[in-house]
């Protein structure tokens, strides 16, 4: 099983829009991914409700885990996404970035 740890860069943490973009990316990857706070139980990273229920603030580290042939690639992409301020005007998925 592949794992990555990353600090959440979004100003509001992993809530609302950042959580939506993250869970959509997980679902689109086709790889089962879990996310956990330090010392916490892992949850399904494709579920916006589970992800938001973690209550991850800006700067807190989370651990992503995945298994399968594409796990390393998918985790690298998800880490890059979480390491980006998804609330910034030029963030992926915003009109300014398109």
Give me the residue label for tokens 């995945």: 66
Give the dihedral of Cα atoms 87, 90, 94, 98; nearest 10 deg: -170
Active site residue 15: yes
DSSP 5-60: EEE--STT-SSHHHHHHHHHHHHHHTS-EEEEETTSPPEETT-HHHHHHT---TT-
> What is the rounded CA–CA span in Å between residue 21 and residue 41?
22
Residue from 6, 9, 15, 22 carrying the catalytic annotation: 15
Active site residues: 15
């Amino acid at each position: 099983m592949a794992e990555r740890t990353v600090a959440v860069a979004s100003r509001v943490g992993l809530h609302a829009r950042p959580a939506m973009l993250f869970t959509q990316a997980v679902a689109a990857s086709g790889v089962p991914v879990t996310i956990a706070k330090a010392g916490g139980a892992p949850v399904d990273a494709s579920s916006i409700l589970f992800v938001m229920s973690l209550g991850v603030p800006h700067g807190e580290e989370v651990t992503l885990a995945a298994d399968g042939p594409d796990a390393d690639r998918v985790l690298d992409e998800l880490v890059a996404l979480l390491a980006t301020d998804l609330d910034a005007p030029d963030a992926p998925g915003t009109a300014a970035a398109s």
